[in-house]
C-alpha cells in the first residue's frame, strides 16, 4: 500500500455551489464573493462558484448570473478556474454570457434518482448532456459532468458499477473533459471504490475522472484513500463540509476540504492549498452562515487556536 502515491492531487472546491444551495439562510452576493476569494487565497485553483439552475428550483443561488459576472471581473480570482453548474442550454447561455470558462453538467447513475431529481430518465439526461456539451465545446469551454448516486441511491439502494461505466463511456464520447463520480448519500465503503475504479480503468484513462464523497457515515477519507490507491488524482470537497444531504437531515454532507488537505499533507501529496489559510476560509464560512460547520479538522484546529490564545 502507498507504494506509488501520486506527487500531487487536484482538489475541486464545491462549497460555494454544492454547499450553499442547501442553506436555509439567504447569503448576500457580496458574502459569496468574499468566501470565493478566501478559498482562492488558500490556493484552491478549481472552484465551483454557483449554478445557473432556475431560481424557482434553487432560490439560494438566484444571484448566479450577477455573482458569476463579479467573479469574472475580480482581479483576485484571475488565476482561478471558476465554474458553474448548468442544467440545460438556457443555463449554459447564462454561464457563457458571464464569461465562465468551464461549465458543469449533472446527471445520475440511478434511474429513480434521475427521475426524482431532474424528471428525466438516464437516456433523456444523456441527450441533454450531449446537446449542451456540443455547444459548450464548440465555444471552447471546458466541460465537467457530475454523475451522482454511483454507489447507492436513496430510492434503489446499491447501484451496479456497470451503470457508471456505461455512462462515463458515453460522456467521454461527447467530449466531456472531466467526470466527477458522486457518492451522493455518503454510503460507499472503500471496497466499492476500488471495484468501480478497476472496472472503469479497463475502459478508459482515469485521468479525466474525479471522485466526490460525502462524509455522512464517516467513510469519506477512507474512500479517498481507496480512490488514490486505484489511480484517481482529482477529488471534490467542500469548505468546512458545507452542504447537507436532503435525504438525511442532520447528517453531515460533503467531505470537508480541510480534512482532505490535512490527510494529503500528511501523506506528502501536493495540492497547492495552504491549510492555515483554508482554515481562515472556513472561519469566514462559519461567520457568513452564523453556525458551526461539520468539518472535523476545522473544529480541531479552531480549538487549538483558542487554546494557544489562552496560554
In the bound complex, what is the minimum distance in angstroms from residue 77's beta carbon to a second copy?
28
Nearer to a second copy among residue 4 and residue 56 (C-beta): 4
Instruction: Give the whole-angstrom CA distance, residue 260 versus residue 282.
Output: 13
Q: Which of 230, 254, 271, 286 touches a second copy by CB under 8 A?
A: 230
**80 grid coordinates:** 482561478
| Cα gap 103→83, rounded to integer Å | 5
* Cβ 274 to a second copy shortest distance, Å: 16
The sign of the dihedral angle between the CA atoms of 158, 159, 162, 168 is negative
Q: Is 174 in the site for a second copy (CB under 8 A)?
A: no
Positions in 180-219 near a second copy (CB under 8 A): 186, 188-192, 194, 215-219
Q: Are 30 and 292 in contact (CB under 8 A)?
A: no
Q: Which three cell numbers stand for residue 206?
A: 482515469
**192, 151 contact by CB (below 8 A):** yes
CB of 289 to a second copy, least distance (A): 18
The strand pair at 10-13 and 46-51 is best described as: parallel
Nearest to a second copy of 16, 154 (CB atom): 154
- # chain residues binding a second copy, by CB under 8 A: 47
CB of 262 to a second copy, least distance (A): 5
Give the relative orientation of helices 275-289 and 296-310 as an angle to the nearest 10 degrees. 100
Q: How far is the CB of 276 from a second copy (least distance, A)?
A: 14
283 binds a second copy (CB under 8 A): no
Tell the smallest beta-carbon distance from residue 6 to a second copy (Å).
Answer: 13
* Per CB under 8 A, 30 contacts a second copy: no
Place of cell 476500488: 194
- Scanning 38-46, 109-117, 202-210, 263-271 for contacts with a second copy by CB under 8 A, the matching segment is 263-271
CA distance 311 to 298: 20
Asked if residue 72 lies in contact with residue 82, where contact means CB atoms within 8 angstroms, the answer is yes
Active site residues: 245
Stretch that binds a second copy, among 24-32, 77-85, 171-179, 257-265 (CB under 8 A): 257-265
Residues forming a β-bridge with 254: 214
Q: Which is nearer to a second copy, 75 or 250 (CB)?
A: 250
* Binding flags for a second copy, 233-252, as an x/- string (CB under 8 A): --------------xxxxxx
Nearer Cβ to a second copy, position 193 or 288? 193
Q: In the chain, which residue ranges form alpha helices assigned H by DSSP?
A: 29-41, 64-73, 89-98, 111-118, 122-138, 161-173, 190-201, 220-230, 257-266, 275-289, 296-310
Query: Of residues 2, 119, 140, 290, which one binds a second copy by CB under 8 A?
Result: 2
Instruction: Give one word for 293, left, alpha or beta, with left for phi > 0 and alpha for psi -120 to 50.
Output: beta
Nearer to a second copy, 177 or 274 (CB): 274
Query: What residues line the site for a second copy (CB under 8 A)?
Result: 1-2, 5, 186, 188-192, 194, 215-222, 224-226, 229-230, 247-252, 256, 259, 262-263, 265-268, 295-297, 299-300, 302-304, 306-307
Amino acid at each position: 500500500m502507498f507504494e506509488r502515491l501520486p506527487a500531487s492531487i487536484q482538489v475541486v472546491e464545491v462549497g460555494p455551489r454544492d454547499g450553499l444551495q442547501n442553506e436555509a439562510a439567504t447569503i448576500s452576493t457580496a458574502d459569496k464573493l468574499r468566501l470565493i476569494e478566501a478559498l482562492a487565497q488558500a490556493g484552491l485553483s478549481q472552484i465551483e462558484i454557483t449554478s445557473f439552475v432556475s431560481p424557482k428550483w434553487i432560490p439560494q443561488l438566484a444571484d448566479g448570473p450577477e455573482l458569476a459576472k463579479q467573479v469574472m471581473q475580480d482581479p483576485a480570482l484571475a488565476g482561478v478556474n471558476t465554474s458553474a453548474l448548468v442544467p440545460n442550454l438556457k443555463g449554459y447561455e447564462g454561464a457563457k454570457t458571464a464569461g465562465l470558462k468551464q461549465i458543469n453538467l449533472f446527471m445520475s447513475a440511478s434511474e429513480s434518482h434521475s427521475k426524482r431529481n431532474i424528471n428525466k430518465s438516464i437516456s433523456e439526461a444523456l441527450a441533454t448532456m450531449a446537446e449542451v456539451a456540443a455547444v459548450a465545446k464548440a465555444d471552447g469551454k471546458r466541460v465537467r459532468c457530475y454523475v451522482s448516486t454511483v454507489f447507492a441511491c436513496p430510492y434503489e439502494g446499491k447501484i451496479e458499477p456497470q451503470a457508471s461505466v456505461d455512462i462515463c463511456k458515453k460522456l467521454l464520447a461527447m467530449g466531456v473533459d472531466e467526470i466527477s463520480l458522486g457518492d451522493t448519500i455518503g454510503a460507499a465503503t472503500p471496497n466499492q471504490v476500488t471495484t468501480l475504479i478497476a472496472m472503469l480503468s479497463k475502459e478508459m484513462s482515469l485521468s479525466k475522472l474525479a471522485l466526490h464523497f460525502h462524509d455522512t457515515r464517516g467513510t469519506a477519507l477512507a474512500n479517498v484513500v481507496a480512490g488514490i490507491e486505484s489511480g484517481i488524482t482529482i477529488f471534490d470537497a467542500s469548505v468546512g463540509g458545507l452542504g447537507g444531504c436532503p435525504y438525511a437531515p442532520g447528517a453531515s454532507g460533503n467531505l470537508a476540504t480541510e480534512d482532505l488537505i490535512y490527510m494529503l499533507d500528511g501523506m506528502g501529496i501536493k495540492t497547492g492549498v495552504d491549510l492555515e489559510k483554508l482554515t481562515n476560509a472556513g472561519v469566514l464560512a462559519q461567520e457568513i452562515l452564523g453556525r458551526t460547520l461539520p468539518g472535523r479538522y476545522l473544529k480541531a484546529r479552531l480549538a487549538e487556536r483558542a487554546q494557544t490564545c489562552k496560554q
